Chain A
Amino acid sequence: MSAVLSAAGFPEAEVRRRARLGAAAAFPDLSVYGTGLVGAQPAGPDLGDPLERTRIVPPVFMPERLEKLIELAREPLYTDVELDTVIGGFASRLPLYVSAFGSTQVASRDLGEAAGAQAGRLGIPMVIGENVVPVNGYRGASEAEVSSMAGRITAYTEAAAASGNEEYGGVVVQQSTEDADAEVWNLLYSDPVSQPLLDAGKLAFELKVGQGAKPGLGGLTVLDREAAGRVAEQYATQEVFGAGDRVLRLSSPGTFTEEILRQQIRLMRNNFPRVRVWVKLHPGRDVAHAAATAWASGADAVTVDGAEAGTAWAPSGFLAQVGLPLGECLTRIGRTGRCLLASGRVWEGTRAVKALALGARAVGLGRAALLAVDEDGDAGLLRLAESMALELRMLISAVGKYRVDALSAEDLLLPADVRPPLAHVLH
């Protein structure tokens, strides 16, 4: 697969290197081994991002390592760390999932299906973005150039079955306010294609309340005039690019109040009793209140998408200046015992470990997954995940723990200006 994507401001070269090299990419280039001095990072951390300024701090005394030593009757190694977990009701081999890519050009058929197949092989959940059905179609018969919903699901389930992952992973399908018109969930729920997933308990629906790249704003994509005409009944457009062929297609983010969110989740559970319910929140200042509301209403997972997140196209000002960073979201939500999922600029192990230690059950790979499958459509995401799994095992064992869910805030040194996460008891 040719490399066609670019991701300015994202460590694209590093992700592509991982997609090529796998676990070896967790280390400096072997050519400098024994000769180079490798202490400093090539690029410094983003000082506005509390997660980047947080350090992982191993202790000296490790009672949990002693427990593992007793269990094994030998000194534990980092390879003894268990990474399997339960993500939003799905067993997963790694504390990772593939975040949604929407209908924007970067998630074309090849990338969407390639990501699906590799996620299936990994035994991790995959989220399919909102508006894939209204824009790209469900079965894809008439829209040859883009990835259909059914194509992505089939690629995922076939790869999972071929890899012995029948018991792992799951497919999560988003719907937002405006694609309610396309009845994506109703369509899937009543379609024979979905029955194997439903029977296996491996289908979830994700209510998209917002996204990290554009907090408070709905979807924005650029369409040519002909495509805009096709979706004119569903979406508004605006002329912002002059007289050329391109127009801006804009969506409403949908109106939410505490009661609206509560009732939408309850209705999802009522109407689709055989699926898991996920809720994706943008990094709003009341994210803790919203997450608590979602869990109390019966959500199986709440995804918080930090302001660093997003594969989608967004106004530059929003990307730079709007929304809470992921680390701030996590500390505001605190440790709750509920399934919290975190996404936003995650592509390597340290950021993942920090998010997990702050209370996330798993982390989402969005841009990183896209770049990895763009680098290698057969194994790029597999290698990226392999490199992250290696780092996760090393880091978790370094803090003296051997299960991914044993991580906690004590394993981190937070910047002085960041409040430590509160422990909440949610009812």
Chain B
Amino acid sequence: MTVLTAESAGPATLQAPPPLPASLDAHLTAAETRATLRVQNRMLTAVRAFLAGQGFQELLPPLIGPVTDPGIRGSKQVDVDFYGHKYKLMTSAILYKQATLAAFDKIFYIAPNVRLEPLETAVTHRHLAEFHQIDVEIRDARREDAMALAEALVSHTVAEVLRDMPAELELLGRDEDALREAVTSAFGRTSHEQATAGLVELGHPQDPGAEIDWRGEEILSAGSRRPFFVVDYPKGSRGFYDREDTQRPGVLRNFDLIAPEGYGELASGSEREHDYATLVTRMRETGENPAKYGWYLDLARRGIPASSGFGIGLERFTRYVTGRTAVWQASAYPKLPGVVSA
């Protein structure tokens, strides 16, 4: 993979994000928004058809629960007063996906999620406080199976849009050749360790023990012409459900999928931890109080199936396909971190 500097970054690498429109109706009725949402609709049709063809069961996702995914860097969960009990809006439905594998081997949701992201993410071009995931989980699968599926799903969806939506892409000024080139060859693959070393070499101060920061991710993304996976994140950078490699302590069996041209992260996934004692220990290592995960740990004691899965950020994916400047432009009702809006 060629890593370029920020200065040579692609069209998506911008310093100042475009401001939200003056009103919701101005946003909704803009020709660019309408074209973007038509493409998103086509993408969803393609995703559903593709996954159905692979034998996946679509379920409607949960919205609230006593706990939700804690593995989100820096963001706050939204509390819901549930008849006097503190519930959470889903930041992701990962725990429910694992539970559902007792009934279905291959599942997916198009799941709405809410994360009160730190204010600094308002300028990353790729954070929304409310967004959707194409949330996939496969029983008895290894990480590599999930990565292969994510790659096939992304490539198929992009190809369908290229075939069926040329007018919209033209209206939006999307470089179709770049998009086509990106998905006609195999996705790249690098490790977190390699990616970190590359960033440090470029003078970007990336902490080798942490998640790749927003700027670093943008630099990596801008230096690639096709999507690529970053695998093997270090423990301490992700949630308790990303499985630790038994052969390499401290390394997680997980991955991120990064879009090219500076668009950044599209998806995160992993092989899941499912062993009860390991889950409890990992909860402590991630600073969690196991007591609040009662239903999940009860289930784990009875046995959670082995699995791998991932979540693709639908608005991020749409932004990449349509070439929009900021992820909020790929949402009908955008909510930027810290910005009060409709």
A interface with B by C-beta (< 8 Å)? 175, 177-178, 180-181, 183, 186-187, 189-192, 195, 198, 207, 233, 252, 254-256, 259-260, 262-274, 298
B residues in contact with A186, CB < 8 Å: 74-77, 116
Cα A280 to Cα B226 in complex, Å, equals 46
Given A186-B77, A192-B338, A260 contacting B237 (CB threshold 8 A): no
The main secondary structure of chain B at its interface with chain A is: loop
Q: Number of contacts between A and B (CB, 8 Å)?
A: 90
- How near does chain A come to B131, taking the closest CB pair, in angstroms? 16
For A274, the chain B residues whose CB sits under 8 A away are 118, 120
The interface size bin for chain B is 20 to 34
With contact pairs A263-B286, A273-B210 given, residues A183 and B235 touching in the complex (Cβ less than 8 Å)? no
Q: Which residues of chain B have a CB within 8 Å of any CB of chain A?
A: 73-77, 85-86, 116-120, 207, 209-211, 213, 234-237, 281, 284-289, 292, 337-338
- Contacting pair A263 B338 (CB below 8 A): no
Residues on B with beta carbons closer than 8 Å to the beta carbon of A183: 76-77
A272 in contact with B74 (CB, 8 Å):
yes
A52 and B95 alpha carbons, distance in the complex (Å): 54
- B contact residues around A255 at 8 Å (CB): 284
How far apart are B208's CB and chain A's nearest CB, in angstroms?
A: 11
Complex alpha-carbon distance, A195 and B120, angstroms = 9
Is the CB–CB distance between A266 and B74 below 8 Å? no
Q: For A191, what are the chain B residues with a Cβ–Cβ distance below 8 Å?
A: 76
Q: Out of B73, B234, B286, B338, which one reaches A264, CB within 8 Å?
A: B286
What are 8 residue pairs bridging A and B, where the CB atoms are less than 8 Å apart in the complex?
A175-B287, A178-B289, A180-B289, A186-B116, A190-B118, A207-B287, A254-B289, A267-B286
Bound: A187/B292 CA distance, A: 18
Contact in complex: B117, A269 (CB < 8 Å): no
Q: Which residues of A contact B235 (CB under 8 A)?
A: 263, 266
Selected contact of A180 from candidates B236, B237, B287, CB within 8 Å: B287
In the complex, are the beta carbons of A190 and B74 less than 8 A apart?
A: yes
> What's the least CB distance linking A130 to chain B, in Å?
12
Q: Which of B73, B77, B86, B338 contacts A271 (CB 8 A)?
A: B73
Contact present for A264 and B207 (CB under 8 Å): no
Please measure, in the bound complex, the distance between the C-alpha atom of A191 and the C-alpha atom of B117, giving whole angstroms: 9
Complex contacts, B337 vs chain A, CB 8 Å: 190
Q: Closest chain B residue to A184 by CB distance? A: B76
User: A269, B286: Cβ atoms under 8 Å?
Assistant: no
- Please give the distance in Å from A77's CB to the nearest CB on chain B: 44
Choice from B86, B117, B287 contacting A268 with Cβ under 8 Å: B287
Q: A178-B289, A181-B292, A264-B287 are in contact. Are A269 and B119 (CB under 8 A)?
A: no
Q: Across the interface, do B289 and A177 meet the contact criterion of CB distance under 8 Å?
A: yes
Instruction: Verify B210–A266 contact, CB threshold 8 A.
Output: yes
Q: Which of A233, A269, A272 contacts B207 (CB 8 A)?
A: A269
User: What residues of chain B lie closer than 8 Å to A207, measured between beta carbons?
Assistant: 287
Known contacts A190-B337, A233-B85; decide if A263 and B77 are in contact (CB<8 Å): no
Partner of B210, one of A177, A181, A270: A270
> Which residues of chain A come closer than 8 Å to B211, judged between CB atoms?
270
Contact B119 A195 (CB under 8 A): yes
Shortest Cβ distance from residue B168 to the other chain A in the assembled complex, whole angstroms:
35
Which residues of chain B are near A233, meaning CB under 8 Å? 85-86
Q: Would you call B73 and A298 a contact (CB within 8 A)?
A: no
Residues of B near A256 (CB, < 8 A) are 284
Contact check, B287 vs A270: say whether CB atoms are below 8 A apart. no
Q: Which of B73, B116, B284 contacts A270 (CB 8 A)?
A: B73
Most chain-A Cβ atoms within 10 A of its Cβ — which of B75, B287, B338?
B287
* Beyond A175-B287, A181-B86, A263-B286, 5 extra complex contacts between A and B, CB < 8 Å: A267-B286, A272-B74, A273-B74, A273-B213, A274-B118
A260 touches B281 (CB 8 A): yes
Residue of A nearest to B286 (CB): A267
B210 engages A190 (CB within 8 Å): no
Instruction: For the complex, give the distance between the alpha carbons of A374 and B52 in Å.
Output: 68
* CB nearest to A274 among chain B residues: B120
**Chain A: minimal CB distance from B196 (Å):** 13
Cβ contacts under 8 Å, B237 to chain A = 266-267, 270
**Contact residues in A for B234 (Cβ distance below 8 Å):** 266
Chain A residues whose C-beta falls within 8 Å of the C-beta of B285 in the assembled complex: 259-260, 263-264, 267
- Bound together, the chains give a CA A252 to CA B292 distance in angstroms of 13
- Chain B neighbourhood of A190, CB < 8 A: 74-76, 116-119, 337-338
Task: Write the nearest CB–CB distance from A80 to chain B, whole angstroms.
Answer: 38
Which residues in A have their C-beta under 8 angstroms from that of B281?
260
Q: Is the CB of B76 within 8 A of A267?
A: no
